[in-house]
Amino acid sequence: MKHIAALRDVVTPWSDGLEPSDAELDAIEAEMDVVLAEVELLDALIVLLDRPASEFDGRRIRRAHNRVLAARRDAANRATGTQVSGDAA
């Protein structure tokens, strides 16, 4: 029987490149607004798994969905460099 400790370098080789690069961290940070908006939408939808939706729940889901769309729009505008303050949604 072989122990995993003996094969540790084969399973998870150590490398100085295991940390994310600055470019990867910047990409994650650029996507963070979209991720947070999607998490908020998922939270609103998860609440409805065990009960029927009320009028308040419907408004919460619509607002969360609009935040996701706005975050995606802003991320796309930043990616193309065409963001202008006051843009319509």
pLDDT range class, residue 35, cuts 50, 70, 90: very high
* pTM for this entry: 0.66
Q: Helices 22-47 and 55-80 sit at what angle, rounded to 10 degrees? A: 160
Q: For 73-83, how does the pLDDT look when each residue is reduced to its tens digit (9 = 90+)? A: 999 998 887 65
What is the rounded distance in angstroms from the CA atom of residue 85 to the CA atom of residue 76? 14
Reported confidence tier of residue 5, pLDDT bands at 50, 70, 90: low
Instruction: Provide the token pair at 72.
Output: 């995606």
Q: How many CA atoms lie less than 13 Å away from 45 in the CB half-sphere?
A: 9
Residue 79: per-residue pLDDT? 82
What mean pLDDT do residues 11-35 have?
A: 81
> What is d(CA 83, CA 31) in angstroms, rounded to the nearest whole number?
16
State pLDDT tens for residues 49-73.
999 989 999 999 999 999 999 999 9
Residue 41: CB atoms within 10 Å: 19
Average pLDDT over residues 5-25: 69
pLDDT tens track for 12-21: 656 666 788 8
- The helix/strand count (H/E) of the chain reads as 3, 0
